[in-house]
Amino acid sequence: MAEDSALTKTLIIQAIRSEMDGYRFYTFLAEKTAKEDVKRKLTNLAKDEVRHEALLIGIYKKLYREDVGETPKKGLGVLSQFFDHPERREKMTEIQYIDLAIEAELAATQYYKEAAEDAPNDDMKNVCREMAAEEFSHYELLQAEKEALGGKYYWFAYDDGSPLED
Contacts of 57 (CB under 8 A, 6+ apart): 16, 68
What whole-number distance in Å separates Cα of residue 101 and Cα of residue 86?
17
Contacts of 47 (CB under 8 A, 6+ apart): none
pLDDT over 90 percentage in the chain: 45
Contacts of 24 (CB under 8 A, 6+ apart): 79, 83
What whole-number distance in Å separates Cα of residue 142 and Cα of residue 94?
12
Asked if pLDDT for residue 133 goes beyond 70, the answer is yes
Report the SS3 class of residue 134.
Answer: helix
Asked if pLDDT for residue 3 goes beyond 70, the answer is no
Domain 2-149 coded CATH 1.20.1260.10 = yes
Asked if residues 139 and 106 have their Cβ atoms less than 8 Å apart, the reply is yes
Average the pLDDT over 45-53 and give the result.
95
Q: In angstroms, what CA-CA distances link 119 with 6, 9, 26, 129?
A: 11, 10, 28, 10
For 22-36, 67-81, 113-127, which range has the lowest pLDDT when averaged over its residues? 67-81
Asked if pLDDT for residue 50 goes beyond 90, the answer is yes
Asked if residues 163 and 156 have their Cβ atoms less than 8 Å apart, the reply is yes
Choose from 3-12, 69-78, 84-93, 102-111 the range with maximum mean pLDDT: 102-111
**pLDDT value for 48:** 95
**pLDDT value for 110:** 94
**pLDDT value for 149:** 73
**What are φ and ψ of residue 93, in 5° steps?**
-90, 170
For 73-77, 108-112, 119-123, 140-144, which range has the lowest pLDDT when averaged over its residues? 73-77
Question: pTM here?
Answer: 0.82
